[in-house]
Structure 1
């Protein structure tokens, strides 16, 4: 791989901070980036029965979370007359 000298300097500095060779550092970074791309674009496969179970879990109405309901009912700082400390 041909890289600009400035890029090589940055890579070498980062690799040395990690105690790695340039090759190990670049390989690890490339594999990590490739795995992220694959995870973002992965296809999820399931059987018709599995999909039906999945949809069954998602279909019922959501149950309220008492803490979230209480939080949503609180007045906002500007409604409650909040004055920041000076």
Structure 2
């Protein structure tokens, strides 16, 4: 007698406007995924986010005291963050001389007097 096989997949049906389907299909194609895979992953990810937002965090009384002591204590610098904050921003770095020359030419042009245009 064959055993009954428990079904692992359950259908989910939705009615969506064409515009929503077009957006989903475009995004799925950009990710190289099927519409079904894309929608399933997006729905599961959204559901996990909601569950994580509402999940209580449980800890022992001694663990909670240690947690509060850490939060209440003085902040300790994170070496990687210190190094990052000391780096020059990309727009603050020195440009090659050819770019500086081009920039100074643009400045020269912008400093010229503008003559009022003649009305026709």
**TM, length-normalised to structure 2:** 0.47
Structure 2 partner of 1:48: 61
Aligned length, in residue pairs = 66
Deviation of 1:64 after TM superposition, in Å, equals 8.2
The higher relative CO (CA closer than 8 Å, separation ≥ 6) is in 1
Q: Give the 3 Å change call, closer, same or farther, for CA 49–8 of structure 1 in structure 2.
A: same
Structure 1 spans left out of the alignment, 5+ residues: 68-85
Query: Which of structures 1 and 2 has the bigger CA Rg?
Result: 2
In structure 1, how many angstroms separate the alpha carbons of the residues matched to 2:75 and 2:19?
55
Runs of 5+ consecutive residues of structure 2 not aligned to the other structure: 1-13, 83-110, 112-120
Aligned-residue RMSD, C-alpha: 2.3
Distance 1:50 1:17 in 2: 45
Question: What's the counterpart of residue 30 of structure 1?
Answer: 43
